[in-house]
């Protein structure tokens, strides 16, 4: 039987311990890149469970089966063998309606706001603090392009790869027509003049001098908005979009010149210059079979030299409904680690969002078929900050591109195209409310 004195000592010890614990829980920590100290009251201090757990991952951004296996499955087996992943593809609304809310999601920053109606986005800053994730490893432009989508600068996830733009050209066509290869630092006007020398017809084959893929890609270096995220109103009937429309039409007005997709450059080989995103892994078989590719710096606007487009990055996010947020954070931590990012760059020719310059040197290093291609021009340009993409962006972009086609084909003038685009986008927004 304990004496009264003993009980008093034990009670005092317990009280002191409780006070110390509460004090520790109420401390704040600094997260590199965050807007300020993050209170750790909400961060649990108990060890992270190593019990087997299966996390569902919505693949909003395409990841090939080979990438999934080598960049996620195998690294997890090595470092966190208790974590396994279940990929989910298809329509997110249908997935959630079936009773499954993904633990993790992947998406391009332009479509992250698609998730807003499902109320699944969460600020991962407390998890970043708990797991001691160093945000200074990332180029801040990629973090800012996600923060701009939220009301208070929250960070919904981390980037694991990013797009780049380049000017791909078919050396054999330049040689065939006796034209010098494109140089780095071309403006769009320069590229259009060069394209005029290569757009010609021989026999039944119409060669395209310059293709810019589509009008949205052409515009991206100017970081144009389509819908104001706060006002939920279209922002396309203006001089900026008029300039972009007229530039696209100028290029397409070259006799025989049209905008094309990947196959016309890679497979059919009738496009002399193709301005687009990362084609490296798509070109492997074609290069094996004789496609003679060169790369030049992506054309720029005069006032935006050495800028190839706004941030077009791929992110992994954690849903607020996940019961395994710590394990989900461990997946993101591993996916963005130096080791996995190096493998991603070397074997899958993905550009890393990390600041480490060594990763640029590793780009496509394990793809022998592409070793003759000089990749230096890719890194002479940088991305511009991305606009704050509205949840209406996807539909609005489709409307805008359709109106451009009407203008480009001569069915309406540029002012009418932009005015009608603005009206139709606003009508769609109102109908969605």
- The mean pLDDT value of the chain amounts to 91
| Range name among 13-27, 70-84, 230-244, 378-392 with the lowest pLDDT average | 13-27
The mean per-residue pLDDT over the stretch 83-91 comes to: 96
pLDDT bucket at 305, cuts 50 / 70 / 90: very high
pLDDT bucket at 26, cuts 50 / 70 / 90: very low
Quote the CA–CA distance of 44 and 307 in Å, as a whole number: 43
Q: What percent of the chain stands above pLDDT 70?
A: 90
User: In this predicted model, what pLDDT tens digit does every residue of 167-226 receive, in sequence order?
Assistant: 999 999 999 999 999 999 999 999 999 999 999 999 999 999 999 999 999 999 999 999
Residue 263 has pLDDT above 90, yes or no: yes
Architecture of domain 53-163+312-356: 3-Layer(aba) Sandwich (3.40)
The mean per-residue pLDDT over the stretch 119-142 comes to: 97
Six-digit token pair at 422? 């603005």
The mean per-residue pLDDT over the stretch 420-427 comes to: 98
Residues 304 and 315 sit within 8 Å (Cβ to Cβ): no
pTM flag (> 0.95): no
Backbone φ and ψ of 335, nearest 5°: -60, -30
pLDDT bucket at 46, cuts 50 / 70 / 90: confident
DSSP 3-state assignment of 148? coil
Residue 332 has pLDDT above 80, yes or no: yes
| Fold classification of 166-310+370-432 (topology level) | D-Maltodextrin-Binding Protein; domain 2 (3.40.190)
Q: Which residues of the chain does CATH 3.40.190.10 include?
A: 53-163+312-356, 166-310+370-432
DSSP 71: I
User: SS3 helix, strand, coil % of the chain, rounded to 5?
Assistant: 45, 20, 40
The mean per-residue pLDDT over the stretch 260-280 comes to: 96
User: Looking at residue 45, what is its pLDDT?
Assistant: 60
User: Looking at residue 39, what is its pLDDT?
Assistant: 41
């Amino acid at each position: 039987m304990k004496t009264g004195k003993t009980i008093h000592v034990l009670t005092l010890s317990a009280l002191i311990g409780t006070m110390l614990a509460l004090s520790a829980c109420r401390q704040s920590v600094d997260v590199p890149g965050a807007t300020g100290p993050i209170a750790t009251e909400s961060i649990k201090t108990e060890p992270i469970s190593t019990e087997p757990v299966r996390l569902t991952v919505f693949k909003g951004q395409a990841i090939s089966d080979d990438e999934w296996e080598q960049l996620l499955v195998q690294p997890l087996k090595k470092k966190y063998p208790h974590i396994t992943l279940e990929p989910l593809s298809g329509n997110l609304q249908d997935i959630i309606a079936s009773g499954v809310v993904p633990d993790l999601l992947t998406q391009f920053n332009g479509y992250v706001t698609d998730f807003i109606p499902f109320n699944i986005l969460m600020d991962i800053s407390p998890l970043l603090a708990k797991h001691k994730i160093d945000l200074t490893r990332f180029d801040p432009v990629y973090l800012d392009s996600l923060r701009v989508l939220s009301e208070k600068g929250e960070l919904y996830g981390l980037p694991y790869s990013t797009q780049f733009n380049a000017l791909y050209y078919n050396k054999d066509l330049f040689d065939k027509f006796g034209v010098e290869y494109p140089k780095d630092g071309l403006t769009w006007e320069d590229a259009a003049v060069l394209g005029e020398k290569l757009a010609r017809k021989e026999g039944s084959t119409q060669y395209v001098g310059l293709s810019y893929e589509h009008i949205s890609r052409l515009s991206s270096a100017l970081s144009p908005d389509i819908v104001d995220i706060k006002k939920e109103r279209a922002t396309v009937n203006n001089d900026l979009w008029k300039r972009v429309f007229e530039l696209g039409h100028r290029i397409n007005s070259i006799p025989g010149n049209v905008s094309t997709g990947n196959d016309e450059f890679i497979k059919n080989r009738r496009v002399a210059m193709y301005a687009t995103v990362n084609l490296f892994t798509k070109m492997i078989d074609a290069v094996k079979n004789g496609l003679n590719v060169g790369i030049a710096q992506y054309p720029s606007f005069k006032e935006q030299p050495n800028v190839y487009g706004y941030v077009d990055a791929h992110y992994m996010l954690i849903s607020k409904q996940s019961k395994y947020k710590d394990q989900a954070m461990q997946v993101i931590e591993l996916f963005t680690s130096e080791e996995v990012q190096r493998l991603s760059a070397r074997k899958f020719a993905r550009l890393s969002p990390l600041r480490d310059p060594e990763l640029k040197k590793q780009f496509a290093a394990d793809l022998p078929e592409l070793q003759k291609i000089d990749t230096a021009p890719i890194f002479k340009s940088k991305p511009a900050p991305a606009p704050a993409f509205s949840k209406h962006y996807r539909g609005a972009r489709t409307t805008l591109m359709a109106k451009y086609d009407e203008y480009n084909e001569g069915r309406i003038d540029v002012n009418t195209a932009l005015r009608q685009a603005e009206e139709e986008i606003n009508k769609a927004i109102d109908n969605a409310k």
